[in-house]
Amino acid sequence: MTKMLPLEDGYISIPDDPGSAPPNLLGSYSPAADTYFYPRRKLCPISLEPVEDCELSSDGELYSWTFVYRPVMGKRIEAEGGGYGVGQIDLPEGVRVQARIDGAMGDWKIGMKMRMALDPLAEDEDGNSLCGFKFVPVSEEGAAS
């Protein structure tokens, strides 16, 4: 059975059964500054004190977005005008994350609810999916669209 694995360790956590729980970003928390960070850090840039590793929320709110007219890593632009969205998502911990966002230009609205999802980018020699992350819009009913 193939698994979903992080493309690179240290940025996201993937549950053993991805359908049972959402993936999460791996961040840091500084008790001295009472502040969260992404990506993880060794020291707090504010206090220079040690930080604690933590999982950040998988839900957030779209702060800003743009459209990139280039292929996504490992993909080709098949149709004229192809590309992908990139957004800045504010997480409840106060962290702003920049990531690829699902949808087409015009699908996104500032302030809309977004949820982190796995983004399979390649396969390893054992056939496991190597994943990055992206954010997808969440419908009003609370399910990712």
Domain total of the chain: 1
Domain for residue 21, yes or no? yes
Confirm whether 89 is domain-assigned. yes
The 10 Å CB-count burial string (b at 16+, else e) for 62-88 is beebeeeeeebeeeeeeeeeeebbbbb
Looking at residues 132-144, what average pLDDT do you find?
Answer: 76
- Residue 39's CB is within 10 A of a number of other CB atoms, namely 13
Q: Is 24 helix (H, G, I), strand (E, B) or coil?
A: strand
Indicate whether 63 belongs to any domain. yes
Task: Tell me what pLDDT residue 42 has.
Answer: 95
Q: Are 82 and 51 in contact (CB under 8 A)?
A: no
Q: Is residue 144 included in any domain, yes or no?
A: no
In a domain, 42, yes or no: yes
Q: What is the pLDDT of residue 94?
A: 97
Secondary-structure breakdown of the chain: helix, strand, coil percentages, each rounded to the nearest 5? 0, 45, 55
In a domain, 145, yes or no: no
Q: What's the DSSP call for residue 71?
A: -
The CA-to-CA distance between both ends of the chain, in Å, stands at: 27
Q: Which range among 40-54, 84-98, 118-132 shows the weakest confidence by mean pLDDT?
A: 118-132
**Structural domain boundaries enclosing 16:** 4-137
Distance CA 14, CA 116 (A): 11
For residue 55, what pLDDT is reported? 96
Which pTM was predicted? 0.84
More confident residue, 29 or 77: 29
What is the pLDDT confidence band of residue 79, given thresholds at 50, 70 and 90? very low
Residue 37 lies in a domain: yes
Q: Measuring CA to CA, which residue among 121, 14, 16 is closest to residue 58?
A: 14
27-76 pLDDT, tens digit per residue, is 999 999 999 999 999 999 999 999 999 999 999 999 999 998 776 655 55
What pLDDT does residue 17 have?
79
Looking at residue 59, its pLDDT comes to: 96
Q: Is residue 92 part of a domain?
A: yes
Residue 65's region, left for phi above 0, alpha for psi from -120 to 50, else beta, is beta
Quick one: which of 21, 31, 32, 81 has its CA closest to 57? 21
Q: Are 62 and 87 in contact (CB under 8 A)?
A: yes
